[in-house]
Amino acid sequence: MAHSSGSRHPYPRTARVNQILREIISDELVRLSDIDERLGLLTVTGVDTTADLSQAMVFFDSLSDEARVALDERRAQIQSSVNVQTRLKRTPRLTFMADPAIASGAAVEEILRRRTHDDE
């Protein structure tokens, strides 16, 4: 039986777009950190794009106020890089925030650490 090379993919389009955006944005931040040290220690943990690809939430391991300001100042440049490197009809509007899963994980670790300390 011949394998069809139709549009079937092992995961949805938004998941592929999220991964591509994460890679492009991460690479762009490495380049930008040479000019703006406020962007130097940022790690993109994920991207969540809306189904219509009009918006993309970019998550970071942490996001200081200083880094948030730098990202907002460089948003157009980052979006331009995404536009140049993808074949999307329109570039999603990027929004930046700290990854809530990392904050939740840190809170759980602190609770476990306190319980362990209290049990001693």
pLDDT tier at 5 (50, 70, 90 boundaries)? very low
21 in a domain, yes or no?
Answer: yes
6 in a domain, yes or no?
Answer: no
The amino acid occupying position 29 is L
CA distances from 83 to 14, 24, 32, 79, 88 (A): 16, 10, 16, 6, 7
User: Which one-letter DSSP state was computed for residue 39?
Assistant: G
1 in a domain, yes or no?
Answer: no
What's the pLDDT at 12? 83
Q: Are 41 and 32 in contact (CB under 8 A)?
A: no
Whole-number average pLDDT of the chain:
83
What's the pLDDT at 103? 61
Closest CA to 77 of 36, 118, 18: 36
What's the pLDDT at 91? 87
8 in a domain, yes or no?
Answer: no
Specify the number of domains making up the chain: 1
- Domain boundaries, position 40: 13-119
5 in a domain, yes or no?
Answer: no
108 in a domain, yes or no?
Answer: yes
4 in a domain, yes or no?
Answer: no
CATH of the domain at 68: 3.30.300.20
pLDDT in tens, 72-111: 999 999 999 999 999 888 889 999 998 887 665 655 666 6
What six digits make up the tokens of 37?
């040290």
2 in a domain, yes or no?
Answer: no
User: Which one-letter DSSP state was computed for residue 67?
Assistant: H
